[in-house]
Amino acid sequence: MSAPTAPVREIRLAPTRVIVERKPGGAIYVRSALELGPYPGRMTDRLDYWAEHAPHRTFIAQRTKDDAWRRLTYSQAAEQARRIAQALVDRPLSSKRPIAILSGNDIEHALLGLGAMYAGVPYSPISTAYSLVSTDFGKLKHIFNVLTPGLVFAASGEQYSRAIRAVIPQDAELVCVRDPLPGATIFSDLIAASPGPALEEAYARVGPDTVFKILFTSGSTGMPKGVIYTHRVWTSNQQQVRQCWPFVEDEPPVILEWLPWNHTFAGSKDFGLILYNGGTLYLDEGRPVPGAFDETLRNLREIAPTIVLNVPKGFEALIPHLRKDPELRRHYFSRLKALFYAGAGISQEVWDALQDLSIEACGERILMLSGLGATETGPFALWVGKDVRRAGECGVPAPGMELKLIPSGHKLEARLRGPNITPGYWNQPELTRAAFDEEGFYKIGDALRFVDESDPDKGFIFDGRIAEDFKLSTATWVSVGPMRVNFLAHFAPYAKEVVIAGADRDFVGALIFPDIAACRELSSEPCSVAELLARPQVRAKFRELLAGMAKTSTGSSNRIARAIILDVPPSIDAHELTDKGSISQRAVLENRAEVVEELYSGSERVISIT
């Protein structure tokens, strides 16, 4: 049975109908034909609702050291969060002295965030990479300067001791769950507080425009910026999700999640999906990397999710195991309503493989959903419906969202407006002003194009990042986003990342970050990384792939003529690598300007097909 003819597992999705208005000058305004329904003024209202209506349902579950699942019910979460809130109200915390969370996903992290919402104190989950991977703590110091926290949380004081000693303000309180450093408060002390009138007074002041969270962007275009989340931003966005995906009302969603909460995908979209709809979130300590994925597989053999929300690399890591393990495949798809990818473009090969595997497992296609958004948009902004059959489509605006398309060179620049858009950046008013246009639309920086301009209901296709595109010396535009996606699909598994060069040059070139493990398969002799990448077998493979890609090009705008395989990986401290592992094209080109010159002047490292 082939994917196009197999039946689709039926789920309820809203229609993707839009209203389009074209203005003189070329601007295009697009909005959903669906009106946004009512939403609560505070996300904690949803926790209170489920604590009353489904008190014994598991809200969050996390494995303990003895392999049992530690479960937190909705009633327990509401009760413990209010205790923590009272402890926070008793402390000198405020919007000027918020909470910084250094460690990753766990039940205590979730409770502290919920407690902060009841207390009206903003909190900020910060990338663990800034504490555990960075060597100079540059981004963490920058964040603390912007945030000015009065309380810092780290699940393990010992694990985060280097970062804590480097950045924590002297007047900030340190809270740890285990391995506390001298002078630290134990997390259980917060839960020991008894809610009283002071908490009720504080909570009464919390409303739709109260800032509850500051999410720092990954820093792909410079130092991280603190994106402001009000309750309105989050609750309106989750109402948009619910209206687009009404199937989450039919059965409370069950998710197994490894993605970190300092990213908007997991921390806002997925956590909010569970909380808003009374679902259950299982915390996965596995990762889609060698040596860490076995934990994910173990969890998936126990937990059958109703929706899987992942990045493409997560799906890529899973596919071989689904192929070779029929029981895992059957269990994985047994009650799955939809797959969802975000964070990066997914290849058509991965898309097709998941569709084929679902047919093998249950005789039906499982819908692959996606969309387009950003930390600043809640993040759900555009979404795809049931008729999408290929990777790359990002759909139509959600109810309550307005999309404005502005001609920009050879593309259409996307801008967004709605209740789910951030009010701006924390303590950085100049960045806030630059992020919005004169009509209050957020400039997301992405380009879009119609799937079919004669039928706008079919939605849009992502057309790259405006800031990354450039012109060759011939004035020919190069669209970096689509080229990068095609390159990585063609060079798999030998290339981990690629940076496209060629601004004001005669032709396009590439700086390749190789997958060392895959390259070692081409040459088994022990050697250093630099020696490996200089081996004839390795260079021949990359030249073969480069030539093969060139055969499918249609001209200089999408033909890569030269490449260099880099033996020095991207650096998080040099801002080349974001905390979520994505590459900053600009930072790499700036930091490695001499390599770009080498690419165009020629050297023995250059692989050329010109």
Can you give the CATH number for the domain in which 539 is found? 3.30.300.30
Alpha-carbon distance of 158 to 153, in angstroms, equals 12
> Does 264 lie in the same domain as 190?
no
Q: Are 97 and 148 in contact (CB under 8 A)?
A: yes
**Same structural domain for residues 484 and 388?**
no
**Is there a single domain that holds both residue 78 and residue 145?**
yes
Domain boundary among 206, 226, 255: 206
Question: Does a structural domain hold residue 55?
Answer: yes
CA-CA distance, 139 to 574, in Å (whole number)? 10
pLDDT at position 24: 92
pTM of the model: 0.86
CB 422, CB 236: distance < 8 Å: no
DSSP designation for 150: S
Cβ-Cβ contacts under 8 Å for 502 (sequence gap 6 or more): 470, 472, 478, 508, 509
Q: Is residue 218 part of a domain?
A: no
| 67 and 160 fall within a common domain | yes
Output phi, psi for 405, to 5 deg.
-115, 125
**520 and 425, same structural domain?**
no
Domain match, 424 and 302 both = yes
Per the domain annotation, does 220 fall within a domain? no
Residue 415: inside a domain: yes
CA dihedral 174, 124, 585, 558 (to 10 degrees): 150
Q: What is residue 1's predicted lDDT score, i.e. its pLDDT?
A: 39
- Peptide linkage before 456 cis (omega within 30 of 0): no
Same domain, residue pair 570 and 485 = yes
3-state class of 112 per DSSP? helix
Residue 519 belongs to domain spanning: 469-608
Maximal C-alpha separation, the chain: 76
Residue ending a domain, choose from 162, 185, 206: 206
Do residues 459 and 519 share a domain? Answer: no
Q: Is residue 401 part of a domain?
A: yes
**Cβ neighbourhood burial of 503 (10 Å; 0-12, 13-18, 19+):** middle
- Report pLDDT digits (tens) over 408-454: 878 899 999 999 999 999 999 999 999 999 999 999 999 999 999 99
Opening angle at CA 392, ends 418 and 421, nearest 5: 15
One domain, residues 451 and 508: no
Amino acid at 135: T
| The pLDDT value given to residue 532 | 94
Q: Do 458 and 322 share a structural domain?
A: yes
For residue 232, tell me if it sits in a domain. no
Q: Which residues neighbour 5 within 8 Å (Cβ) at sequence distance 6 or greater? A: none
Q: Is the dihedral of CA 543, 549, 551, 554 positive or negative?
A: negative
Q: Which residues of the chain have pLDDT under 70?
A: 1-4, 218-222, 343-344, 389, 579-581, 610
* Co-location of 523 and 572 in the same domain: yes
Token reading at 413? 């620049």
Which CATH number does the domain housing residue 196 bear? Answer: 3.40.50.12780
Q: Among 206, 223, 249, give the residue marking a domain's end.
A: 206
| Residue 554, in any domain of the structure | yes
- Sign for the CA dihedral angle at 319, 260, 218, 579 comes to negative
Q: Which residue has the tokens 């084929």?
A: 356
Per-residue pLDDT reduced to its tens digit, 64-94: 988 899 999 999 999 999 999 999 999 999 9
Who's near 441: CB < 8 A, 6+ residues apart?
Answer: 402, 404, 415, 416, 417
Which H or E run includes 516?
helix 516-520
Q: How many domains does the chain have?
A: 3
Q: Which of 561, 570, 494, 490 is nearest to 532 (CA)?
A: 494
Give the pLDDT of residue 2: 43
Same-domain check for residues 329 and 474 = no
- Confirm whether 13 is domain-assigned: no
What is the token pair recorded at 84?
A: 């923590």
